[in-house]
Amino acid sequence: MSARMSTIAGAALALCLAVPAQADEPTADTVVARVNDTEITLGHMIIVAQRLPEQFQQLPDEQLFDGILDQLVEQTALADTAGEPDRRTRILLETTQRELIANSLLSRTADAALDDEALEAAYAARYLDAEPEQEFSAAHILVETEELAEELRAELAEGADFAELAQEHSQDPGSAAEGGNLGWFGPGMMVEPFEQAVMDLEPGEVSDPVETQFGWHLIRLDETRDAEVPELDAVRDELTREVREQAVFAHIQEVREAADIELMVEGIDRGLFRDPSLLDD
């Protein structure tokens, strides 16, 4: 090797040795502060940040980082001087720990249950394998008293026009202008007495007076049809909630059945849980 090449190689080696090795990436266990003998980690900061109200989440990273760290330092210093927690604090810690662990477990259970196969099965059970839901096209006349509803019912029996009576007498301004027409609706969209009356009618029939919290109705059923089956994407959010809720409910039932549970409440006043003075030392 020439003297010139040796010099270049030596300089390159020196340059490489001068560059420090890159530190490991921070993790949740990375210590960001120490108060007395208590360590504060990046994980502690993440938990605090996740629980902050939305307006604080919008702060710049540096400002929010410093604020959270300062809060944790103060809390840790205060906790170190507090001594043994009193009864109220001990019970709060125990209850909070149980709640956090249980909620974390149920969240993981719900996440594990949710996949494309589960969503497709829920979609099939709701819309493909079940009997199609009925939809109804109906009109009504809403009045204040049963007596007036009976009078209008008699006029209809004598050949009066339903739409004209609705326009003249109905107290439902939205439908009265349309001759009482309510358009198409499905199960659960009307109050129970009204819906039941509609389901009991044949197309073209007019009901006897039906009372709801809005007054007295005369209802004419015009048509029925099978509800259209929605696309999966249109109901994905609803089915996602359903799959998660069912998984959580099933897991809770399984855990309860497997647990050795003994209730010891005989003779305890059911109102004592409202007495916070029992938590005093």
Asked if 144 and 171 count as a contact pair (C-beta separation under 8 A), the reply is: yes
d(CA 151, CA 216): 12
Per-residue pLDDT tens over the stretch 196-237: 999 999 999 999 999 999 999 999 999 999 988 999 999 999
Cα 262 to Cα 52, 149, 213, 274, 278: the distances in Å are 38, 58, 46, 22, 23
Q: Of how many residues is the chain composed? A: 281
Cα dihedral angle (136, 141, 147, 152), rounded to 10 degrees?
A: -100
For domain 134-226, give its CATH number from 3.10.50.40, 3.50.50.60, 1.10.150.530, 3.40.50.920: 3.10.50.40
For the chain, domain boundaries: 24-83, 84-131+229-254, 134-226
Strand partners, 31: 41
Element (H, E) at 129: none
Q: pTM of whole model > 0.95?
A: no
Burial of 190 (0-12, 13-18, 19+ CB in 10 A): buried
Q: Which among 82, 124, 84 has a CA at the least distance from the CA of 230?
A: 124
Lowest mean pLDDT among 16-20, 29-33, 74-78: 16-20
Res. 4: pLDDT tops 80: no
Mean pLDDT calculated for residue range 100-105: 96
Q: Which among 164, 179, 171 has a CA at the least distance from the CA of 148?
A: 171
Cα 44 to Cα 36, 70, 82, 130: the distances in Å are 17, 12, 20, 49
Write down the pLDDT at residue 23.
Answer: 54
